[in-house]
Chains A and B, each alone.
Chain A
Amino acid sequence: MIRIENLSYTYKPETAPSLHNINLCIGEGEHIALIGPNGCGKTTLIRHLNALLLPTGGEVSIDGLKSHEQRNHSEIRRKVGMVFQNPDNQIVGMSVEEDVAFGPGNLRLPAAEVRLKVSKALEMVGLSGFEKRAPVTLSGGEKQLLALAGLLAMDPGYIVLDEATSSLDANSKEKVLAILKKLQNQNITVIQVTHNMEEALRADRVMLMAGGQIVADGPAFQVLAERERLKSMGLAPPVIVELMASLEAYGHTPGKPVITVDDAAGEINSWLTHEAAVDEDYAPRRTGGYA
């Protein structure tokens, strides 16, 4: 479990804090989307989860390991893997297998174990057979999968993605998201910083940040349904949320949260069926009247 208590962080002493009094608890196997306008502190917050930044106030602990204790950093970095936005800037090795081996190599595991972890991780992300390829020959999506494999080789309990899918095409994005879903099913916690509200809608829990604080934290359908708040922060609500809001303007209120295209199609279908039935009820009388 990740526990954050009264976390504050200031980059320079004379400036305003980038994070202010954040309290959080993140459990195992959760899929969390962290959203918010630019400069609200999302990246600063997630860098605390991997001990890349250390709190200037408060405390961050990962499975009981406190990040302000230097001796815990190696274990924290094994437990919390991070994928950054630009895959080119996180690939270290000259071949795919060498890059995946970088993390376990840093843990100084025996070479046989490193090889086993590399092959398992590449298989998980669908890059088996790419072992000897130079990273420069991979596509953007494959590079991001390679970065993910590099983390998986370290057996993390938590995976943090900092806008990692923002530069990918639709196919590659779907591939990465499908792998994340698979990992979540294996009880690995996925924390995803994103500007894409459709992606955020797929998460179990959404945290909305503004001005270095978490201003909303709850199920995706609840946080993302607050259209006015999102718009006031310069964020575009998900298309499905907008669609349902438009339906409400026509007098239809969905009976349950609508978060996927299938949900929306079902809701529209049931509404149209209901409207047609109402029309049928009135039609004979109207027809009679005219007759």
Chain B
Amino acid sequence: MHDLGQYLHHESALHRSDPRVKLIAVLALSPVILHIEVPGLIMVGALILGAALMGKIGPFELFRTTRPVWPFFMMLFLVYILFTPGTPLAPLASYSIKISYEGLHLGASQLFRFVLLILAASLLTMTTSLTEITMGLEHLLRPLRIVRISSHNIALMVSMALRFIPLLQHELQQIQTASAARGADFRCGSPLDKIRLTVYLATPLTLNIIRRSDELAEAMEARGYRPGPRTYLCELAFSRSDYYALGFIAVIIMFLWYLG
């Protein structure tokens, strides 16, 4: 099973394409997905599916990445179908719970939208390494230097945050194990107990994060870090196919937007 953000290395045109193109595609597609209606959404779905196949990623493999968010989606769907006024569904018309056609349509289309957003983001992270994403972000944010915001610093912060996620997960597990060894087992007890025990986790975890960031800052300084531009291992450069891809994305997005 693949979690959100897990990069899968394959030799494909999608993997080889410039990370900026993929970032722009996802960023531009997101408002379009929220704006358009079902026919457009079906087209976006087909587009994502096509891109996934181009990246040698199976449709089921891609779809599995949405699994962690399904409980949230289900709750959202329930809220839409239960609380949207409109014509009640005929078979349920005599019951106290009213489900309307409009609610069902709105819930399904919103669910479709969110699934597409997650799939687009997953496809980006499955075909682009974190290093490439960070570098792409750094290049895309370079115009911010006009307002004296350093894209290098933002990229470094992002890469550092991403690097520390597995470390913090490991640390959290260690604290949980240590707490369990002293009788505070997080697997048992009522939800209220679990909330109370979370407070005991939060304190050592926060302190460890502060200590780690302090040591990391010192290690970075010791390695000659100073804010501002630095040399990267490889510099990004648009190829001809990247320009074609950008053009194609622009046309598709304009078409979808006007299709509505």
Q: Which residues of A pack against B, CB within 8 Å?
A: 50, 52, 74, 77-78, 81-82, 84, 86, 88-95, 97-98, 101-111, 114-115, 118, 135-136, 150-151, 154
Residues of chain B with a CB closer than 8 A to A84's CB = 215, 218-219, 222
CB of B219 within 8 A of CB of A89, answer: yes
Count of inter-chain pairs, beta carbons less than 8 A = 97
CB of A90 within 8 A of CB of B219, answer: yes
Residues of chain B with a CB closer than 8 A to A77's CB = 221-224
CB pairs A–B below 8 angstroms (16 shown): A52-B222, A84-B218, A88-B212, A89-B212, A90-B222, A92-B159, A92-B160, A93-B159, A98-B233, A104-B231, A105-B232, A106-B223, A106-B230, A108-B231, A136-B167, A150-B223
Q: Known contacts A150-B223, A154-B224: does B233 contact A88 (CB below 8 Å)?
A: no
Q: How far is the CA of A115 from the CA of B232 in the complex (A)?
A: 9
Among A106, A111, A154, the one with the most B-chain Cβ atoms within 10 Å of its Cβ is: A106
Question: Which residue on A lies nearest to B130, using beta carbons?
Answer: A94
Given A84-B218, A111-B233, A118-B233, 12 more pairs with CB closer than 8 A: A89-B219, A92-B216, A98-B131, A98-B233, A103-B224, A106-B223, A106-B226, A110-B231, A115-B233, A115-B234, A136-B166, A154-B223
Contact string against A for B residues 191-216, beta-carbon threshold 8 Å, 1 for contact and 0 otherwise: 00000000000000000000010011
Q: Interface size of B by Cβ–Cβ distance < 8 Å?
A: 29
Residues of chain A with a CB closer than 8 A to B229's CB = 108
Residues of chain B in range 220-254 having any CB-CB distance to chain A below 8 Å: 220-226, 229-235
Q: Which residues of B pack against A, CB within 8 Å?
A: 129-131, 134, 159-160, 162-163, 166-167, 212, 215-216, 218-226, 229-235
Question: Which residue on A lies nearest to B164, using beta carbons?
Answer: A88
Q: Known contacts A52-B222, A77-B223, A136-B166: does B215 contact A89 (CB below 8 Å)?
A: yes
Q: What are the nearest 6 A-B pairs in CB distance?
A: A90-B219, A89-B215, A106-B224, A77-B224, A82-B222, A101-B233
Q: How far is the CB of B123 from chain A (nearest CB, A)?
A: 20
Residues of chain A with a CB closer than 8 A to B235's CB = 111
Among A52, A98, A101, the one with the most B-chain Cβ atoms within 10 Å of its Cβ is: A98
